[in-house]
Amino acid sequence: MESGPVSDGGAGFLTAPPDTPATRAAFDDDLAGNGYVMELTRVWAHQPDLQPALGALLGAATEAGELSYRDRAVLIAATASAIGDPYCGTAWGSRLAGEVGDDVAAAVLRGDDDARDPRSRALSGWARRVAA
């Protein structure tokens, strides 16, 4: 696959990001790790200097809440499911599956809280209530 900015073909609301070394590096990282360029990477490519600050903020919030990676994956997958976001549901459902297995991740995405531990049930239930 070719690296570098890819036009949205006129279907999206953003123009293609500037073709810079930072943009190419981000796109190449996605291609190497995922086989495609994520939409979120295309968005961040417009202001790449802001992404590390957001990552630091999310990391600090995760640490302050004493949340594990698994907890964060449960929260995001449950929220994505509740709001009908297939993009985040797929991305974070896959990450959650890597942590806890396909069955548990599928249960979170379906909204089935019966088969999980109390902490995951509490986190996913809270996320769905907030999303609603």
76-110 tens-digit pLDDT? 999 999 999 988 898 899 999 999 999 989 999 99
- What pLDDT does 12 receive? 59
Q: What is the mean pLDDT of the chain?
A: 86
Please name which of 29, 51, 49, 30 lies closest in space to residue 39, comparing C-alpha atoms: 30
Task: Write out residues in the chain with pLDDT < 50, as ranges.
Answer: 1-11
SS3 letters for 9-53?
A: CCCCCCCCCCCCHHHHHHHHHHHHHHCCCCHHHHHHCCCHHHHHH
- What pLDDT does 8 receive? 44
Number of neighbours of residue 23 by Cβ within 10 angstroms: 22
- What pLDDT does 38 receive? 84
